[in-house]
A and B are shown apart, each in its own frame.
Chain A
């Protein structure tokens, strides 16, 4: 299995609070992705990174920001959490743009 961890694995927070999710990889893969998964919508891309300090928006980026200061870490921040951001968040990594993506175990976030 690809070495990908996510932390925390579960989090409950209140509306309006900031939240940061961490994705850590030991594979030295260049490309990293953040998705959210909701019933009926499948996996939707939030942000992605194609290298240190190189990031770009996905299809559902509003309300989220990311940072990648090291190859191994990709952080997802909700500046002010809303109930609509209650979801399961998956990080993924890829060795190249044409390769398959490997997914982390996920973080279940509940915003009350």
Chain B
């Protein structure tokens, strides 16, 4: 099976930067996805990494190191609306098309 670990909660100040780490264990990596979920709403897709390195999308960036089983989501210039849960999801070669989700990291942005 796959273990996916994320911190439970992080707090940061408006305008700051926060880095959400996700570590995983698998023998057949096939992709790492990040989702944002506001309270009471559906998850929405943020980013996808399949190769090592950094993917940048505006204020959000995601990094992957396959050899270390490690990814992070970087949120820059934090805004109050970024307060949400951030979910890391793993796709593996033995579960093609199926995601294994982490429990999520609750980010609280304070004024």
Contacts and interface: CB of A to CB of B under 8 A. Distances in A.
A96 B98 CA distance: 11
Contacts of B31: 98
Interface in B6-59: 30-31, 33, 41-45, 48
Contacts of A42: 87, 101-104
Interface residues of A, number: 23
Contacts, number: 45
A43 B41 CA distance: 13
A101 B99 contact: yes
Interface in B44-102: 44-45, 48, 87, 89, 91, 96-99, 101-102
Interface of A: 31, 33, 40-45, 48, 50, 58, 90, 94, 96-98, 100-106
18 contacts: A42-B87, A42-B101, A42-B102, A43-B87, A44-B101, A45-B98, A48-B97, A48-B98, A50-B97, A90-B42, A96-B97, A98-B31, A98-B91, A100-B33, A100-B48, A103-B42, A103-B44, A105-B41
Interface of B: 30-31, 33, 41-45, 48, 87, 89, 91, 96-99, 101-104
